[in-house]
């Protein structure tokens, strides 16, 4: 199977320091796109969020991440802190490749910065109570998968959304759009 071209991805990323969230008129957040290319197939880490009443992203497939905390100096700090809390990966020990253009979540207006990291060595994933499941998704498979329409259930009812279906898991919403951006798909 053809390997994912990290060098080509790096050319499309913005420097991590180019994203500043303090001037945003809406809440800001960051996610960590964690790429592992130490296996036969390059892959990225996805999580399934725990089901929680009142959480607009409850039960969804996502990247580790969350809202910027007052203790975070930058959105990069947010992505690093959230990855440590949610999946136990200490990203400062690995390589920060850059950041994709921030995008707004549609469930609630939050500006989200997707930072891309490459692991330098094998890691052990340790979930906290916000995470129901973690899994590694093949970058090759994600780069060639076709989008489809899926029905998803949210607190307000059922939505018909663009999605990827990967091993029975429906990836939609902001995560779907970030993956499309990662692969430069419009």
Cα 5 to Cα 28: distance, rounded to the nearest angstrom: 30
Per-residue confidence (pLDDT) for residue 122, from 0 to 100:
92
Please measure the distance between the N-terminal and C-terminal CA atoms of the chain and give it in whole angstroms.
25
Q: State if pTM tops 0.75.
A: yes
Q: How many C-beta neighbours within 10 Å does residue 28 have?
A: 21
Residue predicted with more confidence, 81 or 107:
81
- Residue 56 pLDDT level (bands cut at 50, 70, 90): low
- Residue 2 pLDDT level (bands cut at 50, 70, 90): low
pLDDT of 63 over the 70 cut: yes
Which residues, 6 or more positions from 7, have their beta carbon under 8 angstroms from its beta carbon? none
Per-residue confidence (pLDDT) for residue 22, from 0 to 100:
60
Q: Where are the domains of the chain?
A: 6-143
Question: Which DSSP symbol is given to 161?
Answer: E
Half-sphere exposure (CA, 13 Å, Cβ side) for 62? 25
Per-residue confidence (pLDDT) for residue 37, from 0 to 100:
86
Closest by CA to 42, choosing from 5, 74, 79, is 5
pLDDT in tens, 11-27: 999 898 887 766 677 88
pLDDT in tens, 27-42: 899 999 999 987 777 9
CATH of region 6-143: 3.90.79.10
pLDDT of 1 over the 60 cut: no
pLDDT in tens, 111-135: 999 999 999 999 999 999 999 999 9
Mean pLDDT, the chain, rounded, equals 90
pLDDT in tens, 163-174: 999 999 999 999
3-state secondary structure of 157: strand
Residue predicted with more confidence, 18 or 66:
66
- Give yes or no for a contact between 91 and 10, defined as CB atoms under 8 angstroms apart: no
Per-residue confidence (pLDDT) for residue 5, from 0 to 100:
84
């Amino acid at each position: 199977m053809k390997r994912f071209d990290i060098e080509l991805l790096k050319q499309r990323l913005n420097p991590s320091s180019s994203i500043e969230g303090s001037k945003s008129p809406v809440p800001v957040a960051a996610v960590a796109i964690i790429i592992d290319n130490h296996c036969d197939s390059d892959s990225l880490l996805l999580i399934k969020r725990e089901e929680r009443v009142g959480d607009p992203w409850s039960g969804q497939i996502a990247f580790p991440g969350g809202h910027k905390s007052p203790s975070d100096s930058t959105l990069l700090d947010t992505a690093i802190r959230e990855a440590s809390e949610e999946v136990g990966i200490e990203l400062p020990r690995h390589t920060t490749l850059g950041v994709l253009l921030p995008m707004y979540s549609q469930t609630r207006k939050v500006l989200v910065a997707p930072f891309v990291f490459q692991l330098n060595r094998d890691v052990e994933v340790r979930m906290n109570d916000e995470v129901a499941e973690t899994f590694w998704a093949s970058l090759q498979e994600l780069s060639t998968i076709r989008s489809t329409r899926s029905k998803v259930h949210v607190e307000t009812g059922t939505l018909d959304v663009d999605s990827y279906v990967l091993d029975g898991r429906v990836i939609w919403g902001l995560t779907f759009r970030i993956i499309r951006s990662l692969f430069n798909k419009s």
